[in-house]
Structure 1
Amino acid sequence: MSQSTEKRVNKETISKKIKDQNFINGVKAAIPIVLGYLPIGMAFGMLAVSKGLSALQATLMSIFIFAGSAQLVSIEMIASDAAVAAIVAMTFLVNLRHLLLSASLSLHLRNLPVYYYPFLGFLITDESFAVGMSKIGNQQNKHRFFFGLGLTAYLGWVSSSAIGAFLTGFINFGSSGALDFVLPAMFIVLLVMQISSKSEIIVGAFSALLSVFFALTINGSWNIILATVLASFLGVYISGSN
């Protein structure tokens, strides 16, 4: 083997090791996310089955949608026989923030083959974005790192949803309606964790009041969408005036 060929082989070997290490770093960084997904995913699976979905349908929803907040709201709307258009509109609005997350992350993932972006975009969640942005700058192959991070988080969410959905068949909740409190409690906790200013408290309280008002005055499940849109306008107005 010539010296130039040997150098080329060595470079390729080193490059492959770096790529594999970046992927492994992503997997390790996702472990806290997976641990956080475990109780929420199981709760989603149980709630979905209790609302009339089969265990397989609940699992497939996690496989193809992979958006916890949108999935949780969707099953409530499905259970209340909401219009398909309302469910689609709600999912679009709830996940609209992913456009901003993707745009920010794309600054670290330039010059990749086009086929990479749909897969990486699908794997973006609030948690994977937060962890990824805090650590991706130290990685040589940034796309390999985020792929390992996102894929591990994705598998954690799908598996925890499946566990919760299939376990529901062996658990008798009776008519206590205990699972009805899962969704409100979960979103209240997520909201409280993200509030950091008085303006956010105002917007949160305003959206809650609007949602209750529309739920009492308008038929269907449009209260969530209308409250979200109007509260967003209030949030933009407050931000612009500060």
Structure 2
Amino acid sequence: MPDAAPATTAAPSHARVWQHPEFRRGAREMTGIALGLAAWGLVTGVAMVKSGLPIPLALLMTFVVFAGSAQLASLPLIASDAPIWVVWATAACVNLRFVIFSAGWRPYFGHLPLRQRLMHGYFTADLNYVMFMRRFPEPRPTDEQGPYFWGGVAINWVTWQGMSLLGIALADRIPTAWGLGFAGTLALIGLTGSLLVDKATWIAAAVAACAAVAAFALPFKLNIVVAIAAAVAIGVLLDHFNPSAPQAGKAAS
């Protein structure tokens, strides 16, 4: 009797995706952390307008870039007329973690057509990656993974974009004295804390923090780039010397 064909996540219909129990589970689990996402999205929307971006460009940025950390890292550079290569390099360095995410997701979604993989890449975010890996620790494709992914995306993308648009619309009405930047920082610290799950991630975070402080005097907030480079380097080293640790390869993110 021939072996059964391996399960895949490929191409269930839209109706099946929306109706699948894993879609509801992914949405429900992402809802639990949506408050932090909402705060950070609101801060990013306000920051884009406060930094001098016209509203059309702010709208374009929030929908095209869809990466809050890259947006916030590049905004002060744009406002200070930094060279365009510095803006691009900073955004690219801040988003290096998505290379790691892509490598982690390859065993699950690598078999999909290019168009679907590009869609997954656009909607990928830090926390839906973390939630997905907790739900599916074994790196092999199954039918449940697609609906779970899109359930988390539905909450993550709508929450972020909705609050970012609200921040853009209300930026001129929200006083700077409200300290939204600090609130956003607290939200990001809370989200980052949920990613520190083992020794490798704690080490990478500590190295990044020390590097950011040590390089604080650099212009154009390049200390962020230094911190990211340090975290990636230590993550690669941890993965090299301890490849059996399940989280070592993800430490740099």
TM range (shorter): 0.7 to 0.9
- Which of 136, 139, 142 lines up with 2:145 in the alignment? 142
Q: Which residue pairs with 1:154 in the alignment?
A: 157
Contact 1:33–1:153, Cα closer than 8 Å, also in 2: no
Greater displacement, 130-139 / 30-39:
130-139
Structure holding more helix per residue: 1
Distance in 1 of aligned mates of 2:167 and 2:157: 16
SS class of match (1:70): helix
Per-residue deviation at 1:166? 0.7
Letter in 2 for 1:36: G
Distance 1:238 1:28, change over 3 A: closer
Letter in 1 for 2:143: Q
Are 1:169 and 2:172 matched, yes or no? yes
Q: Equivalent residues in 2 for 1:15-164 (5 A)?
A: 18-22=16-20, 23-136=23-136, 140-164=143-167
Distance in 1 of aligned mates of 2:111 and 2:235: 35
SS class of match (2:109): coil
Q: TM-score, normalised by structure 2?
A: 0.71
Are 1:203 and 2:207 matched, yes or no? yes
SS class of match (1:107): helix
Distance in 1 of aligned mates of 2:47 and 2:209: 26
Aligned positions, number: 223
Per-residue deviation at 1:241? 7.2
Contact 2:45–2:167, Cα closer than 8 Å, also in 1: yes
Contact 2:43–2:181, Cα closer than 8 Å, also in 1: no
Letter in 1 for 2:88: V
Per-residue deviation at 1:234? 5.6
**CA deviation vs aligned residue, 1:110-147 (integer Å, no higher than 9, x gap):** 53233210001111111000112222479734223212
Alpha-carbon RMSD across the aligned residues, in angstroms, is 3.3
Per-residue deviation at 1:39? 0.9
Distance in 2 of aligned mates of 1:67 and 1:51: 17
